[in-house]
Every structure is written in structure tokens, then in C-alpha cells.
A = this chain, B = another copy of it.
Amino acid sequence: LLTIPLGYRFSAMYAGIRKVEKDDLGLIVSDQPASAAAVFTRNLVQAAPVRIGRKHLRASRGKLRAILVNAGNANCATRTGDQVALATCEALAARLKVPMEQILPASTGVIGVELNPKRITKSIPALVKGLSADRFDDVAHAIMTTDTIPKTSSREISVDGRAVRIAGMTKGSGMIQPDMATTLGFVITDAELSPGDLRGLLAAAVETSYNRVSVDGDTSTNDTVAVLANGASGVKPKGLALDEFGAALTAVLEDLARQIARDGEGARKLVTIDVTGLPDDGGAQRIARGIANSPLVKTAIAGSDPNWGRILSAAGNAGVPFDPAKVDIYLQGKLVCQGGLAARFSEAQMKKRLDERECEVRFIVRGRGRGAARFWTCDFTEDYIRINASYRT
């Protein structure tokens, strides 16, 4: 069960943006101006809501009142993108009676198709009317595209006996690849924090969560992870409590990131890749990413095939020097490659172990290297192709 932070309300509805009648418009409102931080896609092609969102965060000096999000259309690479994002923020600002720059717009869906702003502006009165403190899940549903399940996570920590709550929602599920937040993710907390503190905590948390998950190696034009802190708990974490808050925020983001990998397009399995023994973390990350992005590794896992040769080969392509003769590879905790060579294992038993819904790959370079990295991905199935060969039609 989720713990929802105090001082927020949520709403969702169907605005006719996507063809299927399923909520496609979501709203998160903080009762008070909240400190805010966000990370955006590093793709050179950036959607209008990303550009406007960045501008609003700057103009409002890191204060937000609301996040307005739609699914079904990315509002990217269109003639009217900026106007649409601005018009919808404007309409919402007027309705909520808040400054327009305190609204963060976000969109996900198809690229290059004009988004009719009226579908959103017309819906805003009903959307605002529907605001309620217990509709967090409705927004998590509304932002889904090819996601098969909504993705949420929450934590509560205690600071001097007083509770502080963090809750997050996210959506995948193709186009998930680092670097950077590679999806939409919205996290709210009732802790009191400065925008500067929040920015630092978010950057650190994203590094070990959203930046370590890959579905297909593509990065979208709309990726946004935003966090709001409205202070409604009356608690301002400092010192050790701030560290504890940062750890809880990271835990929420990691949980969301894992859910993204698990629900990757067509995925049946969550794959966790641990790489250790490299001279530095950067090298370990590159190898982990190389393994996570290899279609040959991901299809082998889909087929429950303990094909460690593909893992070794993918690592060898990462551009990071290591001695293949010092590599041990474990699958599901079982040694399958020892010193770069086949270990003794039962193919039949290994196949059965790999039929599990969660797969662990451990890639170890023996020696004194302390560089390590963890990465999440999913297996690569025929359904990925099926979903993506017919996304628009």
C-alpha cells in the first residue's frame, strides 16, 4: 500500500488524446508552492514540454504548484508544440489561480503528430474539479502508454519522531535507456527542502536508478523526472536526517526504475546485472550497459539459454580493457564461466533456473579492482517487435 505525502491532490480523465478511451490526462497539484527539481532527456531533439518545463523551473526559481501530463501524444516535432504546451499551462494556471511558470508540463506518446490543445484546455475544468488526495493511482494509470501495469513506490521515514512521506510514479516502457531519466517519473514528498538541496538529492538518486536501466537502447525526446517537496509535514530534514531522506528518495527511484525494466516492452523477465572488479566505476558501468543493451544477451535470457559466451562478447565490445582470462560469470548465482572458460554446470538445471521471472547476471573481473556497477534491463521477446512494429496503427 502506498503512503501518500500530505498536501497534494490528484486527478485524471480521458481527454480524447489517445484513441482508446482510457485516461490520458493527469494532474498533480500541491496545495502550497513546492520546491522542485527535475532532470530531462539528453536527446538533442527535445519535446516542447521539456523546453517549456525547463523554462518554467528557471522562471519560478525552483517552485512548482502543479504537474500537467498527457499520454497519447509526445507534443514533439510539431509546428505548434510550444504554443500547445504554453496554452495548456496557461489554462490550468488560470483555473488554479497560480503563476503559469509554477506548472510543469509533460507529454508522452507518438512524435510528430500535432496535439490539439483544445482537448486539454476544454478538459481542465473537469480535471481540476476531480482533484482529490486519494487519486494518486489514477494519475499513475493515466500516464501509461505501452506499460502493462502502473508503476508506483513510496517510503516513509521518521525525523525526530515525525513522519516524512515520499511517493513516486513512473511510466516506461520502450525507449528506456540511459543516460538520464528516460521516461516520465514524478515524485512528491511532504518534506521541507530548498530547491537547491532537492536538485542535489535528485541528481544523486537518478544516477543509481534511472541512469542504470535500459530496455532497448533508445532514449526518448520527452524524458522527465521531477520531484516536488511541499513541506506539508512540517519537517525539514537536516544533517543525518537529510542523508536518510536522500536514501529513501533513492530507494523510491530505484524501485521505480526496476519496475520500468521489469515491464519493458514485451518483457517477461527483470534482469539485474552486477559488474565488479574493474579499476573504476565508470568502466564497470560501461560494461554493465554493454551487457544490458546486447540484443543477443537479451534474447538468450528470453530463451532461458545460459549462453555466457554472448555476455563475455558483449562485455568485450564495451571499449573497457579487462583480461578475459580473469572473468567469472554467474547466472542465477551459479558459476557458468570461470576464468573466461566454460564452468561445469547442468544445462537442463540452468535452463530451469533461467525460467524464473528474475534473472541475475554477475560479471566479475578477478583481482583488486574496486569499480562496480549495477544495471537493470529486461529480456527481449517477440512481443517487443510486435508492439513496436505497429505502435501508430
Q: Which of the segments A97-105, A198-206, A227-235, A288-296 contacts the partner chain?
A: A288-296
Cβ–Cβ < 8 Å partners of A112 in chain B = 307-309, 312, 337, 341-342
- Contact in complex: B45, A312 (CB < 8 Å): yes
Q: What is the oligomeric copy number? A: 2
* CA–CA, A315 and B111, complex, Å: 14
- Contact in complex: A77, B340 (CB < 8 Å): yes
Residue of B nearest to A296 (CB): B218
Q: Which of A311-342 contact B (CB under 8 A)?
A: 312-318, 320-322, 324, 337, 340-342
A381 located at the interface, meaning its Cβ lies under 8 Å from any Cβ of chain B in the complex: yes
- Contact in complex: A295, B43 (CB < 8 Å): no
* CA–CA, A112 and B384, complex, Å: 28
Interface centre among A216, A388, A390 (most CB of B within 10 A): A388
A322 touching B111 in the complex, CB below 8 Å, given contacts A217-B217, A305-B390, A390-B305: no
* CA–CA, A312 and B282, complex, Å: 29
A382 located at the interface, meaning its Cβ lies under 8 Å from any Cβ of chain B in the complex: yes
Interface string of A325-361 (1 = CB under 8 A from B): 0000000000001001110000000000000000000
A110's partner among B113, B309, B340, B388 (CB-CB below 8 A) is: B309
* CA–CA, A79 and B339, complex, Å: 10
A219 located at the interface, meaning its Cβ lies under 8 Å from any Cβ of chain B in the complex: yes
In whole Å, how far is A319's beta carbon from the nearest beta carbon of chain B? 8
- Contact in complex: A174, B296 (CB < 8 Å): yes
Cβ–Cβ < 8 Å partners of A391 in chain B = 300, 303, 305, 307
Residue of B nearest to A336 (CB): B112
* CA–CA, A307 and B337, complex, Å: 42
Cβ–Cβ < 8 Å partners of A44 in chain B = 315-318, 320-322, 324
* CA–CA, A119 and B351, complex, Å: 28
In whole Å, how far is A378's beta carbon from the nearest beta carbon of chain B? 13
In whole Å, how far is A299's beta carbon from the nearest beta carbon of chain B? 4
- Contact in complex: B312, A111 (CB < 8 Å): yes
Q: Which of A266-308 contact B (CB under 8 A)?
A: 293-296, 299-300, 302-303, 305, 307-308
A310 located at the interface, meaning its Cβ lies under 8 Å from any Cβ of chain B in the complex: yes
* CA–CA, A310 and B320, complex, Å: 29
- Contact in complex: B305, A218 (CB < 8 Å): no
* CA–CA, A307 and B221, complex, Å: 14
A389 located at the interface, meaning its Cβ lies under 8 Å from any Cβ of chain B in the complex: yes
Cβ–Cβ < 8 Å partners of A305 in chain B = 389-393
- Contact in complex: A317, B390 (CB < 8 Å): no
Q: Which of A213-262 contact B (CB under 8 A)?
A: 216-221
Interface string of A81-117 (1 = CB under 8 A from B): 0000000000000000000000000000011111000
Cβ–Cβ < 8 Å partners of A299 in chain B = 384-385, 388-389
Could you jot down 25 A-B contacts, CB within 8 Å?
A: A43-B316, A44-B316, A44-B322, A45-B315, A46-B316, A74-B309, A77-B309, A77-B312, A77-B341, A79-B341, A110-B307, A111-B310, A112-B308, A112-B337, A112-B342, A174-B296, A217-B293, A219-B313, A220-B313, A299-B388, A299-B389, A303-B390, A303-B391, A305-B389, A382-B382
The 4 closest A-B pairs by CB, nearest first: A111-B309, A303-B389, A45-B316, A299-B388
Measured CB to CB, the residues of A under 8 A from B are 43-46, 74, 76-79, 110-114, 174-175, 216-221, 293-296, 299-300, 302-303, 305, 307-310, 312-318, 320-322, 324, 337, 340-342, 380-382, 384-386, 388-393
Known: A111-B307, A114-B342, A217-B293. 17 other contacts (CB 8 A): A45-B313, A46-B316, A76-B309, A110-B309, A111-B312, A112-B308, A112-B341, A216-B295, A218-B295, A221-B309, A299-B385, A299-B388, A303-B389, A305-B392, A380-B385, A381-B385, A381-B389
